Structure 1
Amino acid sequence: MLSRAAVTVAAATAAVLTAQSGAKAQPAPSGPGSSTPDEVRNQVDALYAQAETAGQRAVGAQERQAELLHRASLLEQRLAEEQQRANDVAGQLGAMAQSEYEQGGTVDPVVQLLLSAHPSDYLERAAGLDQVDSDLAFRLAELRGDEQRVRRDRAAVTDQLAELEKLRRSIAADKADVQRRLGHAQALLGSLTADQRAGLQQAEDAAAQAASQEAAQPLPSGLGPADDRAAAALAAARAAVGLPYVYGATGPGAFDCSGLMYWAWRHGGVSLPRTSQEQAFAGRRVPLSEARPGDIVVYYRDMHHVGMYAGNGMIIHAPYPGARVRYESVDDMPVAMVVRP
């Protein structure tokens, strides 16, 4: 069985299309045939793994960004409401002071404070005035509380916006990293001769056919999905076989690795986290030897790739840009853990 980077001629073209037009590829080897197909395959395998790691970081940051945008919006709405309430109370206090002045013809210390151009002056000093009656004291305390909340929430909004800008820069950097590595992979693939690319194509076709045949075998008795939810998720993943890998996609027409798990398990009524690293902790760990169809198989030490166990030692996964959702041997990549949602 070939590794997940046993790439095709079509994959080489798709890698260029996946990278945005502004991406700059790394220089290709010095001439055709300067690297063997196995060497190129191994280098491309590493580049796709690195690109997928950066892609999962970007997806996670985008999820965090969406959460922060929602929180910032709620904070801004609350801030506007608090500011309006403070303005209303200040207006009521001003009206009280003006009325007292017009009725008495003199301006006592409390009224002088209330007519001050700087409300913070009377908020700080009014407590020392014995003349403040209970109603006025209540209004002053209410205004003080409103203004303190306004200051607190204004600072919170500022912090949220600063974090959003930091996330925006992080997402842009990770996307650029993805594009750079995909461009480098395409350049490496382009360094192969036509015969070498044809050889890789034939080997991958043979491996894909063998994997599909193995996956089509009946499951041993008692080794089917653990429950109805897993069965529904497995059926959805099987239906996605043949659809393209697209970075950041969650279906229904294209997927990245964690996007496929997210989409398939929603058919089982389970809302998984979006990234592969989060999905690694979205259920109960089971030994690989006890994996059941529907379980999520997490790969590599940094957990940047996931697939769904399909039974008979096979997984369904979205492998890399340019490839399509397919069956593959569960042990074609280093398994980090198996999770049962």
Structure 2
Amino acid sequence: MPVAAGLAFGLVLAPIGAAADPKPTISQAKAKLEKLNDKADKVVDRYNTANERYKKAKSTYTKLNTSYKRKLATVADLRTEVVGIAVNSYKIGADVTSLPGLMGADDPRALLAGLTIAGQMSKERAEKLAAFDRENRELKSDRDKAQKALEAADKERDGVEKERSEITKLITEQKKLLNRLGAYNPGNPNSTGIKYTGPASGNAAAVLRFAYAQVGKPYVYGGTGPGGYDCSGLTQASWRAGGVSLPRTTWQQWAWGASRRVSLDDLQPGDLIFSEGLGHVSIYAGNGKIVHAPQTGDVVKVVPLSSYGRSLVGAVRP
């Protein structure tokens, strides 16, 4: 059963006005939303990953295609130049191949020297043209491969987009329910956050100062700031403030940190904490706290790690 269909079967709510169904409590609504978000996190992260691959493939293709077109123009100019020299040499040669022609020249030695130079020039350009042709064939091959990669990335992105859009519709329904229950927190895109006063030092301190300044801003799927973030969008932006360039998605950040893994028993401020089967990532703030962008209907916030109900996978120290 497709993910979206399974979610729809298990999570779509009956009409609020139905007499047989009691109005769900806030805790029940939040539990359903959290369950949906846990599944949606993975889908959206796959979409973000696919989108990053698409953007990278498109950038590679664009650069190669531009270079290929530029070299095609260079090859065309060289070919024109070589042909022009060859034609002119032939015309001159036709006039001086006979003895009268040589005798009638103003300076036969200078003419012959000129022909030799013209021949050398033609040969040099012909060799250069051949080299450019070889290079261009290789470039065309790379360009064609990049085009296939771009097409594959586009197809992957489209496949995940359909799944994501179906889940987004369900999440919209859940947001409406939370609104009716008065439990939906829209956040403030212009929030100035709170001041970080924890134990971090060095670039980790810059990371956490930035992350704390985002507290109160809404969780937004695919959000990279400044008005809203998803979980990996927040960690990426925060560590950028600390001078480290992280990949975009949770899975990519975990893979990037393969050689930077640390024990959950040895956490330091600034460490990335991964959870929910790599569906979520947060930042350790020190003193047993984390800062993260949790889920739809919530905001960037600071919470105790001990109260964080998601299964932890591991940690990375950028």
TM-score by length of 1: 0.68
2:154 corresponds to:
168
Q: What is the one-letter code of the residue matched to 2:159?
A: A
Structure exhibiting the larger radius of gyration computed from Cα positions: 2
Matched, 1:65 2:65: no
In structure 2, runs of 5+ residues without a counterpart are: 1-6, 98-118, 186-193
Q: In the TM superposition, what whole-angstrom CA distance separates every residue of 1:78-122 from its partner, at most 9, and x where no partner exists?
A: 21332222222222221232123323439x9xxxxxxxxxxxxxx
Q: Which residue of 1 aligns with 2:127?
A: 141
SS in 1 for 2:283: strand
- Equivalent pair of 2:57/2:150 in contact (CA under 8 Å): yes
Contact 1:260 1:317 in 2 (8 A): yes
Cα gap change, 1:98 to 1:178, in 2 (>3 Å): same
Query: Number of matched residues?
Result: 271
What amino acid maps onto 2:317 in structure 1? Answer: R
Cα offset, 1:318, TM superposition:
0.6
Structure 1 residue runs of 5 or longer lacking an equivalent are 1-24, 109-132, 206-214
Correspondence for 1:245 among 210, 214, 219: 219
Paired residues of 2:86 and 2:122 also in contact (CA < 8 A): no
Corresponding residue for 1:257?
231
Aligned partners of 1:66, 1:185: CA distance in 2, in Å?
27
Three-state SS of the structure 1 residue aligned to 2:221 is: coil
Paired AA for residue 221 in structure 2: Y
C-alpha distance in structure 2 between counterparts of 1:288 and 1:265, whole Å: 19
| Matching residue of 1:121 | none
- Give deviations 1:303-322, integer Å, cap 9, x for gaps: 12101112333211111122
* Secondary structure, aligned partner of 2:302: strand
- Match among 263, 277, 302 for residue 327 of structure 1: 302
Quick one: structure 1 residues 193 and 245, their matched pair in 2 at CA, closer, same or farther if it must change by over 3 Å?
A: closer
In the alignment, which residue of structure 2 is the partner of 1:318?
293
**CA 1:192–1:277: 2 relative to 1, 3 Å:** closer
Change (3 A) 1:288 1:105: same
Partner of 2:145: 159
What is aligned with 1:228? 202
Aligned to 1:285: 261
Q: What is the rounded CA distance, in whole Å, between the counterparts of 2:92 and 2:196 in structure 1?
A: 96
Displacement of 1:176 in angstroms is 3.0
Query: Are 1:178 and 2:154 counterparts?
Result: no
How far does the alpha carbon of each residue in 1:135-184 deviate from its partner, in whole angstroms, 9 at most, with x for none?
A: 65544332222122222222322332332233223223323322211322
Instruction: Select the structure with the greater relative contact order (CA < 8 A; seq sep ≥ 6).
Output: 1
TM-score, normalised with respect to structure 2:
0.72
Matches within 5 A, 1:48-197: 48-105=37-94, 136-187=122-173, 197=181
In the TM superposition, what is the alpha-carbon distance from 1:216 to its structure 2 partner? Answer: 10
Deviation at 1:193, TM superposition (A): 12
How has the CA–CA distance of structure 1 residues 95 and 159 changed in structure 2, closer, same or farther, with 3 Å as cutoff?
same
RMSD: 3.4
Rounded to whole Å, the distance in 2 between the matches of 1:193 and 1:79 is 55
* Residues 285 and 291, structure 2, Cα contact 8 Å, conserved in 1: yes
Letter in 2 for 1:163: A
- 1:212 is aligned to none
